[in-house]
Amino acid sequence: MKTVITYGTFDLFHVGHVQLLKRARALGDRLVVAISKDEFNASKGKAAYSNYEDRKIIVEACKYVDLVIPELTWEQKQTDIITHSVDIFVMGDDWVGKFDFLADICEVKYLSRTPDISSSLIKQHLDGGSIRELQTA
């Protein structure tokens, strides 16, 4: 059985998240998703619209996801990979090169992002900008 893991905040769950999870799951037989806890996001200077528990429920409902775990620190990735017998570590291509150090314990893949959608873009739209205007800016 091949296990894949990915990490993220998964705030304002959207089609880009679904596409990432679908593509990650297609790489193996089991998909583990680590979702950033609210406290970890705060340490990065980020705030999610939805709290961790709500984001966890939403991601668990996705048919591509087999297990959701909390992300508490940057450093936990190696432990998670070993604990969950991970074969492939997946992140969006906005992280290219940042996790190559994990290649000695599993395969590392960076998947392209879904164009024209992100939680940040949605938040900007909710703050008053049109999605079309923000996409072309």
For residues 119-137, give the mean pLDDT: 51
pTM for this predicted structure: 0.83
Q: In this structure, what are the phi and psi dihedrals at residue 68, rounded to the nearest 5 degrees?
A: -115, 135
Confidence class for position 11, pLDDT limits 50, 70, 90:
confident
Name residue 4's amino acid.
V
Instruction: Judge residue 101's burial from the number of C-beta atoms within 10 Å of its C-beta, 0-12 exposed, 13-18 middle, 19 or more buried.
Output: exposed
**Torsional class of 113: left (φ above 0), alpha (ψ -120 to 50), beta (otherwise):** beta
Q: Is the dihedral of CA 38, 23, 118, 108 positive or negative?
A: positive
pLDDT tens sequence across 53-70: 999 999 999 999 999 999
Give the residue numbers annotated as catalytic, written as ranges: 44, 46
Mean pLDDT of the chain: 87
